Amino acid sequence: MKVFSQNEWRSLQEPQFWLMAIASGIATIHASLIWRSNADSNQFILSLLCWLAVAILIWEKRHKLILQSDIVSSFLGFSLLGFVLLRSLWMTSFDNLFHFIPFIAAIGLVLLASGANKLHQYWQEIIIIFAFSIPVELLINRIGILALYTANFASLILTYLGVEFYREGVNIILANGKAVEVAAGCSGWESIFPLLKLSVLFLVMFPTKTMQKILVPLAAVAIAFVVNGVRVAILAILHAYTAEATFKYWHIGTGSQVFFLTSTLLFGGFCYLTSKRLPSEHSDKRELSEL
């Protein structure tokens, strides 16, 4: 049987310890719920990345945080956390509310830790968690116009490759009569929204200028759109001239992850190059000020 020392017992009585334990529990519950929802691996990885980013931000400013809440804020915080816990225990369907569980839990934890008048201390973490909580499936079902632009772009690629085809709306029909339909789920939104979430993560965690704040989200959309257009063109060729198993492998199988990984790596490279410009720009400013 382990006997706690006096210092260890005091650390267990500190509010920081219990807040950290509650936050770890929330992150674990959220990750397990995503796993139970049979979501794709991309969503699971993004959720882990979200919580990791939040943990890094909190750790960097842990000595500056004011942990002093009032009775009303503490009650509201406990209520929100209790709601999240009960909702998680009796989860019967993974509806739109399920996606906002991390955001609700984060607000409850902030109210419990510092109160409503100190919410501004956590604006970075709140923005990141809210951005990563937006249900992509709901937005995809409401926005379908991108499918036509994706079909046009894929058709342009097929033209340059010399593939014989013709297009009817969102349907691309190859010369042998086989066709692929660019549905809402294949229009590119499933790649665009994750990259937009990563762009929010980058803009919040790293100092950027106004122009960079505009370029980073635009680059996320452009990269995801182009990579997905290439994906649709490749799938059209595979569907027309290869076995059905090959097409399924690259469409809904393991091969489909390659395209998302490619777009993520390209966007990560763009963000890296963008961040590398910052020190030189700041150093130039300092040299001018010294002159």
DSSP letters spanning 202-264: HHHHS---HHHHHHHHHHHHHHHHHHHHHHHHHHHHHHHHS-HHHHHHHHTSTTHHHHHHHHH
- Measuring CA to CA, which residue among 35, 37, 59, 34 is closest to residue 133? 34
**Average pLDDT value for residue range 239-263:** 84
Least confident of 6-15, 45-54, 241-250: 6-15
Does the structure show a pLDDT above 50 at 288? no
User: Which residue would you say has higher pLDDT here, 91 or 108?
Assistant: 108
Query: Is the whole-model pTM more than 0.95?
Result: no
pLDDT, position 284:
44
Give per-residue pLDDT as tens, 69-98: 889 988 999 899 888 888 877 766 666 677
216 or 26, which is more confident? 216
pLDDT in tens, 31-73: 777 777 666 667 778 888 888 899 888 888 888 888 888 899 8
Average pLDDT rounded to a whole number, residues 197-209:
90
Answer with the residue of higher pLDDT: 276 or 103. Answer: 103
Tokens of 4: 């706690």
Residue 246's pLDDT is 83
Tell me what percent of the residues of the chain surpass a pLDDT of 90: 21
Q: Which range (28-42, 65-79, 192-206, 227-241) has the least confidence?
A: 28-42
Average pLDDT of span 147-161: 89
- Using an 8 Å Cβ cutoff, are 50 and 74 in contact? no
Whether the per-residue pLDDT at 174 is higher than 80: the answer is: yes
Residue 285, pLDDT score: 41
pLDDT of residue 60: 87
The larger pLDDT score, comparing residue 37 to residue 263, is at 263
The mean pLDDT of 115-136, rounded to a whole number, is 88
Query: If you average pLDDT over residues 253-265, what whole number do you get?
Result: 86
CA dihedral 80, 86, 91, 92 (to 10 degrees): -110
Q: Is it the case that residue 193 has pLDDT exceeding 60? A: yes
Model pLDDT, residue 15: 65
- What's the mean per-residue pLDDT of the chain? 80
State the residue for tokens 């390209």: 266
Confidence bin at 229 (pLDDT 50/70/90): very high
For tokens 């816990």, the residue is 85
> How far, in whole angstroms, is CA 182 from its chain's centroid?
24
Tell me which residue of 1, 112, 131, 115 sits closest to 54, measured CA to CA.
Answer: 131
Q: What is the DSSP string of 112-145?
A: HHH-GGGGGGGHHHHHHHHHHHS-HHHHHHH--T
What's at 65, amino acid-wise? L
